[in-house]
């Protein structure tokens, strides 16, 4: 059987003035998989998605959705995908039911059938009680679910999810993950963007890590995580002057180079196995190096980033900018 | 194993067999929207606008208050000065007020559209395989409701003040219909403004600057022969003047004059220019 990829893009470029928001990204997503695009704010994830969804023009490169050229044939492309954005794109003036009916009707679903499908989807997303309520009374999680439901009304074979769980509480996030897994079980292909390694890890079959408009790594979640170890030992040394000694202890015991923050006397060590933390601690005690705090954590996006790009995600700055923008 | 139709929710899923082949893709997509699809999408968008109107009744304030207030105000203020008495001013002012009310009613299109386009739901409209004109033409169709209210109220107020149209019922209805057609056509100018301006306030400001010269630099309130030559030149090419003259001919005399033709042609030209411009600039916003 002649199977085509759901998404095939080569050398995508988007520039805003002098700023290259997307700078030559290749993506290949097979049918039936969940593909995660991981990166911090401003890395170019949303811009990439918008180009593939015909919402932004493609400045250079090629993109095909199920073999359809996105640039040459935007109308066909739009018939093959559903887009759920970062912020709920549903109509505030309509009820949940009216929203779904509207999007069904706009895509040529007969009125009665649109109503039935809408009712089914509201049930599936636990929104039936809110069906006739105005969206303004909806919680963030409910809006997000309605937004996703609105993308599914014509059952497109490809779904784009732009940061589907950003801003949701942990319980709602878990529900969203289950819903996304359900989509793939139904035969959908999902391309999602996220800032959370954890989320990509839970959901995605394959991940692309994006930084400053470029793809810096691609692989399964396990492959990415082993590049930074399965967990991280974080140490605060009593006196920052001991750093070099401490680093040599780590090298001797684990054969790994620790990541040092000289000003603060902090040291991060990637661990294949959380058990090895004890070896490092004993080694430091024997070398007479004091520590004030210690923790073992799963690697975060920041550490994956640091390992892959040599700089951090700048997440703190983004948070501040977001605050300022509000 | 074709996926040309949306599978029923109950259908047992066999993901391997759901994989699309190029033939499936060709079968489930069409190269463009047909005229029938475009009309259906436009009407669906119009339905959305009427829902919005019903939930925000303040959208009707201008088309209710203005005919009541302006018709009475202008007639009593200018009536004596221009025509000697109020009663003989009515045949001049009522068609004039009709045109002015139509113009202010359709002006709201631009602001409304700009506000709407800034909302998240327009991102979804853009991502859907719908005709690009539907999100613009839908509100325009729904807005006809507002023009109907404005035109009807203006005529009713005129009748209550003693206006007796010489054109009879037929002429009055024809003038009423022409007013609505003109409002709908001129609305495309403001729709276009809505798609190019950066903010709703900007649309509001520019719309005012267009609305005032168009309505006052016309023959809507006074006979243009009392104006300086240079102004008369503008008044004569102003499409609003043609609409006003045409409505006067229809309502006061019941005559289908050349001005009716010119007014309709002017409306058609406005739509032919500004509808494609609006769609083009809406597309560029993508």
CA dist., res. B180 & res. A195, Å (int): 52
Write out chain A residues lying below 8 Å of B31, CB-based.
73, 75-76
Report, as ranges of residue numbers, the positions in chain A whose pLDDT lies below 70. 1-2, 87-88, 228-229, 301-302, 310-326
User: Does the domain formed by A7-225 have CATH 3.20.20.370?
Assistant: no
- Does residue B181 belong to any structural domain of this protein? yes
Per-residue HEC secondary structure of B159-214 comes to HHCCCCCCCHHHHHHHHHHHHHHHHHHHHHHHHHHHHHCCCHHHHHHHHHHHHHHH
- List chain B pLDDT tens, one digit each, 286 residues: 444 444 444 333 444 556 788 888 888 888 889 999 999 999 999 999 999 999 889 889 888 998 999 899 989 998 888 888 888 899 999 999 999 998 889 888 999 999 888 888 888 998 999 999 999 999 999 999 999 999 999 999 999 999 999 989 999 999 999 999 999 999 999 999 999 988 889 999 999 998 888 889 999 888 888 899 999 999 988 889 999 999 999 999 988 999 999 999 999 999 999 999 999 999 887 5
Within 8 A by CB and 6+ apart from A305, the residues are A40, A209, A211, A311, A312, A313
**Of residues B20, B55, B127, nearest to A31 (C-beta):** B20
User: Does the domain formed by A229-298 have CATH 3.40.50.12780?
Assistant: no
Contact: A53, B47; criterion CB under 8 Å: no
Within 8 A by CB and 6+ apart from B204, the residues are B110, B111
User: To which residue do tokens 């243009």 refer?
Assistant: B224
Q: Could you tell me if B183 and B106 are in contact, meaning their C-beta atoms sit under 8 angstroms apart?
A: yes
Contact: B37, A66; criterion CB under 8 Å: no
Position B18 scores a pLDDT of 65
Range of the domain at B104: 35-284
- Does residue B24 belong to any structural domain of this protein? no
- Does residue B234 belong to any structural domain of this protein? yes
pLDDT, tens digit (0-9, with 9 covering 90-100), for B172-212: 999 999 999 999 999 999 999 999 988 889 999 999 998 88
Q: Does A3 touch chain B (CB under 8 A)?
A: yes
Q: Does A4 touch chain B (CB under 8 A)?
A: yes
Q: Could you tell me if A84 and A148 are in contact, meaning their C-beta atoms sit under 8 angstroms apart?
A: yes
Q: Tell me where in chain A the CATH 3.40.50.300 domain(s) lie.
A: 7-225
Burial A283-308 (b: 16+ CB within 10 A, else e): bbeeeebebeeeeeeebbbbbbbbbe
What is the 8-class DSSP label of residue B253? I
Radius of gyration of chain A measured on its C-alpha atoms? 23
Query: Between β-strands A189-194 and A68-69, what pairing exists: parallel, antiparallel or unpaired?
Result: unpaired
How many residues are recorded in chain A?
A: 326
Write out chain B residues lying below 8 Å of A75, CB-based.
29-33, 129
pLDDT, tens digit (0-9, with 9 covering 90-100), for A127-178: 888 899 888 888 888 888 899 999 999 889 999 999 988 888 888 888 889 8
> ipTM score here?
0.83
Position A314 scores a pLDDT of 58
Phi-psi region of A201 (alpha: psi -120 to 50; beta: other; left: phi over 0): alpha
Q: Does A66 touch chain B (CB under 8 A)?
A: yes
Within 8 A by CB and 6+ apart from A101, the residues are A111, A114, A115, A118
- Does residue B15 belong to any structural domain of this protein? no
Q: Could you tell me if A315 and A40 are in contact, meaning their C-beta atoms sit under 8 angstroms apart?
A: yes
Percent of chain A with pLDDT strictly greater than 70: 92
Contact: B15, A93; criterion CB under 8 Å: no
Q: Which of A239, A289, A249 is nearest to A269 (CA)?
A: A249
Within 8 A by CB and 6+ apart from B2, the residues are B24, B27
Within 8 A by CB and 6+ apart from B57, the residues are none
Coil vs helix vs strand at A290: coil
Q: A30 pairs with which residues across the strands?
A: none
Burial of A48 (0-12, 13-18, 19+ CB in 10 A): buried
CA dist., res. A295 & res. B142, Å (int): 63
- Does residue B126 belong to any structural domain of this protein? yes
- Does residue B19 belong to any structural domain of this protein? no
- Does residue B26 belong to any structural domain of this protein? no
CB pairs under 8 A between A and B: 124
User: To which residue do tokens 């033709």 refer?
Assistant: B261
Interface test with B, best of A108, A119, A153, A189 (most B CBs within 10 A): A108
Write out chain B residues lying below 8 Å of A31, CB-based.
19-20
Contact: B15, A187; criterion CB under 8 Å: yes
CA of A154: which chain B residue's CA is closest?
A: B6
Contact: A4, B13; criterion CB under 8 Å: no
Give the sheet arrangement for strand A158-162, strand by strand. Answer: A81-84, A158-162, A189-194, A34-38, A206-211, A214-219
Residue B227 Cα, gap to closest chain A Cα (Å): 48
Position A255 scores a pLDDT of 81
Interfacial B residues in 127-166 facing A (CB < 8 Å): 127-130, 134
- Does residue B1 belong to any structural domain of this protein? no
Per the structure, how many domains does chain B have? 1
Contact: A108, B40; criterion CB under 8 Å: yes
Q: Does B19 touch chain A (CB under 8 A)?
A: yes
Contact: B124, A89; criterion CB under 8 Å: yes
Within 8 A by CB and 6+ apart from B226, the residues are none
Contact: A79, B7; criterion CB under 8 Å: no
Q: Tell me where in chain A the CATH 3.30.70.920 domain(s) lie.
A: 229-298
Write out chain B residues lying below 8 Å of A2, CB-based.
21-22
Position A103 scores a pLDDT of 95
Q: Does A133 touch chain B (CB under 8 A)?
A: no
CA dist., res. A144 & res. A146, Å (int): 5
Position B255 scores a pLDDT of 87
Position A40 scores a pLDDT of 84
């Amino acid at each position: 059987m002649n199977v085509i990829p759901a998404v095939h893009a080569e050398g995508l470029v988007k520039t805003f003035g002098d700023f290259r928001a997307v700078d030559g990204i290749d993506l290949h997503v097979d049918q039936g998989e969940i593909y995660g695009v991981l990166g911090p704010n401003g890395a170019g994830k949303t811009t990439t998605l918008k180009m593939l969804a015909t919402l932004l023009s493609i400045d250079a490169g090629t993109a095909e959705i199920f073999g359809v050229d996105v640039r040459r044939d935007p109308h066909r492309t739009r018939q093959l995908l559903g887009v759920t954005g970062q912020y709920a794109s549903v109509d505030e003036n309509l009820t949940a039911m009216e929203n779904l009916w509207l999007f069904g009707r706009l895509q040529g679903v007969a009125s009665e059938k649109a109503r039935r499908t809408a009712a089914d989807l509201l049930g599936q997303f636990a929104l039936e009680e809110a069906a006739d309520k105005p969206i303004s009374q909806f919680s963030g999680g409910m809006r997000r679910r309605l937004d996703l439901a609105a993308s599914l009304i014509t059952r497109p074979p490809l779904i784009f999810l732009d940061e589907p769980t950003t801003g949701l509480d942990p319980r709602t996030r878990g529900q969203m993950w289950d819903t996304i897994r359900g989509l793939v079980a139904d035969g959908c292909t999902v391309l999602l963007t996220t800032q959370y390694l954890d989320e990509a890890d839970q959901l995605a079959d394959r991940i692309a890590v994006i930084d400053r408009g470029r793809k810096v790594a691609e692989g399964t979640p396990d492959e990415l995580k082993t590049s930074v170890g399965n967990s991280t030992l974080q140490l605060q040394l009593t006196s920052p002057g001991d750093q070099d000694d401490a680093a040599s202890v780590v090298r001797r015991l684990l054969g790994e180079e620790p990541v040092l923050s000289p000003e603060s006397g902090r040291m991060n060590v990637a661990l294949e196995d959380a058990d090895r933390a004890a070896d490092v601690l004993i080694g430091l005690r024997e070398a007479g190096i004091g520590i004030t705090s210690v923790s073992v954590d799963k690697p975060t996006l920041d550490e994956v980033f640091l390992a892959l790009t040599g700089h951090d995600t700048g997440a703190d700055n983004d948070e501040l900018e977001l605050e300022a923008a509000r | 194993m074709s996926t040309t139709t949306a599978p029923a929710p109950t259908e047992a899923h066999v993901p391997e067999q759901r994989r699309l082949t190029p033939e499936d893709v060709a079968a489930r997509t069409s190269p463009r929207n047909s005229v029938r699809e475009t009309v259906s999408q436009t009407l669906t968008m119009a339905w959305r606008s009427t829902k919005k109107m019903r939930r925000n009744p303040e959208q009707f304030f201008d088309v209710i208050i203005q005919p009541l207030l302006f018709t009475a105000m202008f007639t009593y203020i200018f009536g004596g000065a221009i025509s000697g008495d109020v009663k003989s001013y009515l045949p001049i002012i009522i068609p004039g007020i009709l045109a002015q009310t139509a113009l202010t009613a359709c002006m709201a299109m631009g602001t409304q559209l700009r506000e709407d386009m800034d909302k998240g739901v327009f991102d979804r409209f853009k991502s859907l395989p719908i005709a690009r004109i539907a999100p613009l033409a839908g509100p325009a169709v729904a807005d006809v409701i507002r023009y109907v209210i404005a035109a009807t109220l203006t005529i009713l107020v005129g009748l209550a003040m003693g206006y007796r149209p010489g054109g009879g019922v037929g002429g009055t209805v024809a003038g009423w219909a022409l007013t609505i057609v003109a409002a709908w056509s001129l609305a495309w100018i403001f729709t276009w403004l809505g798609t190019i301006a950066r903010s709703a306030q900007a649309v509001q400001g520019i719309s005012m600057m267009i609305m005032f010269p168009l309505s006052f630099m016309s023959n809507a309130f006074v006979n243009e022969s009392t104006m300086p030559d240079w102004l008369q030149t503008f008044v004569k090419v102003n499409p609003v003047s043609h609409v006003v003259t045409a409505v006067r001919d229809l309502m006061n005399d019941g005559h289908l004059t050349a001005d009716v033709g010119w007014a309709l042609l002017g409306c058609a030209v406005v739509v032919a220019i500004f509808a494609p411009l609006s769609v083009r600039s809406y597309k560029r916003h993508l």
